[in-house]
Structure formats: structure tokens, C-alpha cells
Structure 1
Amino acid sequence: MKKAALLACLCCTLFACEDIEKKAGEKLQAARLAFEQGDYSEAKKQIDSIKILYPKAFETRRAGIGLMQEVELKEQEQSLAYLDSMLQVKQQEFDAVKSKFAFEKDAEYQKTGNYLHPAQVIEKNLHRSFLRFQVDENGVMSMTSIYCGSRNIHHVAVKVIAPDGSFAETPASKDSYETTDLGEKIEKADYKMGEDGNVMGFLYLNKDKNIKVNYLGERPYSTHMTVADRQALASVYELAQLLSSMAEIKKNMEEANLKIGFVKKKMEERKA
């Protein structure tokens, strides 16, 4: 009697297991169909549901892991192809405008060069106090407040003011220095985008307005941006947006390639 009861229990367990695997298999088949149709989100949803609804369907879950890896690989390959096409478009845009900028790079000291408007190259702006703008090859824009005069003002920040009274002000520069050339006092302070109190963004929004620049230091000094300087700001700002988007795309492509390599390694390990 006990043997008959044990046999009945084993049969029930076997049938239950077969039923679980059957139902889990239906989910896996739905996942495969979604994968073949290119609906990767639905495929992953179906695979994840197997683990939640049928945790004891071990064979089907193992097959689901393999299918999940195929889905993830296809997703990353698709993403990489899309990113590559975006980069080509951005590269074409850059190639069309880069000749309009001067490029400066000291091969001995600099790993990354800088683009600036031709009107703001140093040779054309000696003995002048102004805001100079540049962007490096990775799309990081920066501004330099340059002061030239008969005596030092020891400035470390600037405030820019629009005609309506609105303004933006940099925090104290993290990189400033002073020198003297043939009796002329020269001061420079650098500010990177994101660490400039949104001064560059403010100037871009007000690029068509007469902007007053107050140098903030031990002695007061102010000037106005010339039309050429405002044009330089606008063109460099737009180039920075383009270069930074290209840098972001390249970063995402590197991440996609790393994920592809990781998934392929896991797939090889499963086959071994």
C-alpha cells in the first residue's frame, strides 16, 4: 500500500514537472517569436516571466538564459549600428565647418588641441582686455578673461550684464595668473563650461545684445564685448555642442563594444 502511494506521488510530481516545463516552454516560444520579429523588449519580458512564474522549470530557464544572451547581443549590435550612423552624420557636419576655426595645439605639451574663432587668435588681440573662447577636441568649452593695463586689478572672476540688467557671474577661477610684459600688466583667468556660473550659456542667449563685462578683483574694471567677440562666442559655443555630442556618441560606442565582448564571452562559456 505504501509503495502504491509512493508511486502515485512520484507520478504526480512527474506530471507536475512536465506541466511546469510545458507552460514555461510556451513562454520561451513566445520569447523566441518576439526575438525573431525584432521585438527585443517583449522577448526579454517573456524570458524574465519564466523565472518568476516557473522557478523550477530548470531546463527551460537554462534555454532562456541562452536566448537572453542572443537578445542582448542583437540589441547591442543594433545600437552600435545606429550610433555609427549618427557619428557619420555629426562628422560630416564637423568637416563642413572646421575650416572656419583656428586650431591650436602644442604637440610637446598638449594631448588635446583647441579650436577658436580666427578673430580671437592671440596675435590679433595683443594689448586688449576681452573674453576669449575656445573648445577642445572633445567638446569641452572654456573661457579666458584677459586683462591688459598699466596696473594690476588682480581679478579672479567676471560678471556679464545684459542691457535689461540680467546677468551671470563666474565663481573664482581655479586657474589664473599674472605677468608683466614691457611694463604692461597682463592677467588671465580660465573658466571651463559647467564651472563658469553659466556665463557662457548666458552670453549665447544674449549674443545679439550689447554685453558689459565687469572684471571682479581688487580694483574695478569694466569693458563691453565687441560684435566680433560675441560672434566668436556664438560660433565656438555651437561647435562645442557638436563636438561634445560626437564625444558622447563615441563613448556610447565604446560601451556597446564592451557589452558585446562580454556577452560573446558568456556565450562561449556556455558552449564549452
Structure 2
Amino acid sequence: MASAQEGGDASGADRVRSIPDRIPGLSAFLSDKDEEAATTQTPVITAAPLTSAGVAVTAAAPGSDPSSDPGEALRSRILQQADAQEAIVEAERRAEIEAKAVTAAAEEAAELAERERLEAEERERAEEERKRKEEEERKRKEEEERLRQLRESYVAPLASYSLSSGYGAAGAMWSSGYHTGTDLVAPAGTPIKNIHTGVVKEAAWAGSYGYRVVIELADGTEISYSHLSSMAVVAGQEVVTGEVIGNVGSTGNSTGPHLHLEVQPAGSGTVDPLAWMRGKGVAI
């Protein structure tokens, strides 16, 4: 039993002696204490069972102050340093956890902000698309209304002109013995506008009439434009009021650039083009 106890004492003492190697700065502190102990002849620490902190010293003599015991002082310092190390580790762990939480919160906030930005952009695009469609629809309706009014309206064929031979004028130059239309004099190349919406019945060379365009209206009335220098429409094409159908010229039986205009209502002969247009509200 004595030898076993001695072996146990030696093991405890070894553990005590190894502590300074594990705690920075403790070796120098113990060296100073050993020199002081040698000078003052302090009793040597003997091995004893380790406490929960892993260190034990011999019991102090009855009536002595434990704080003056070098072994107890060493144990206290070791425990303080261990507690301080644990506190540092715990503080670092908490700081790391807090830093990760802050980083995660910042990332989540950034993701949320990005989602909100994308959603706002999508709403803005949707609103712009809605406005664009509304504007397109408004323009479409305006254009439909404009065309409707054009179809229902009548205009003069030339913006500027002077009257030459009027309707019904007698003369051997006309095969019928009288003028079946009205001549409107204008410079060659002047655009000719369609008087009213209809379908092109003819767009071709017509002998003494030169290049001629004939428009048939919905009520069967035919309007012919003769002596054109060029034609801008073809047979079968629908043309609306005010659309350019050709240009003033002097082709066929003509003495100079002018537009020979004839109006022939359905089921009857020609009528005075100026009187007919005035009856449709055209200021001419």
C-alpha cells in the first residue's frame, strides 16, 4: 500500500510540474517563486490527490494562513488563468456567432432589397406596357375615326387651280359637241386628290383622255380624272377621301397641263362636277 501511494504521489507531482509548460509565462513565475522559497526555506510541495481543477497541495499547518501557502497561491493563479482562457474562448465564440448572425441578416436584407427592386422594375414595365397598349388603342381608334370621316367626307381634287372650260361648253373639239366635264388648270405634276372614298374602276391609257383614273363610289357614281402625267393607283384598289391618285399632266387630246374632271351618277349621264361637289359640301 505504501508503494502504491508513493506511485500515486509521483504521478500527481508530475502533473503539477507539467502545468507551467501548458500556461504561457507560468514557468518564469515559478522560477522566481522557487528562488524565493529556497531563500526563505518554505516547505516543499508534496504530491497529493488533484482537485477538480487538476491540482492539489499539502494541507496547510494548523493555524496558518492559506493565502500565504505558495502551493495554494499557485493553484489559485492557475485556476484564474484557466477561467480567463475559458472566458476569452467563450467571448470569441459568441463574437463569431454574432458576426455570422449579422452577416446572415445583412445577406437576407440584401436579397430582400434585390427582390423588391426586381418586383418594382417588373411593376414599372407592366405599367409602361399597359400605357403603351392604351396609347396604341387610342391612336387606332383615332385613325379609324379619321378614316370614317374621310369616307363620309368630300374634298376638292386640287389644292390650287384656275377654271378653264366649264361643264356644257359647246365646241367642235369635243366629240359630243359639248364639254362633258370641267377643266381645272394647274402646273404639271400637281398632286390630284381623290374626291371621295371608292374603288378604282380604271387606271389606264384612254385615247384622247390620255392617262385616266376612274373611281366608282359606293352609290355607283363614277368620277374620272383625265390627262394625268402619272397614276398612283391600280384597278381594284380601294382609295379613301384625299388620297393622291395621280398627277396633273397634258396627255391625250390636251393643249396644256390641266385636270379634266367628270362626274357621272349611276344610271344617268354626266353632271356639272362643280355643282355636284358643292352639293356635297366642298368649297370650290
Normalised by the size of structure 1, how large is the TM-score? 0.28
Normalised by the size of structure 2, how large is the TM-score? 0.27
Structure with the bigger RCO (C-alpha within 8 Å, sep 6+) is 1
Greater share of helix: 1
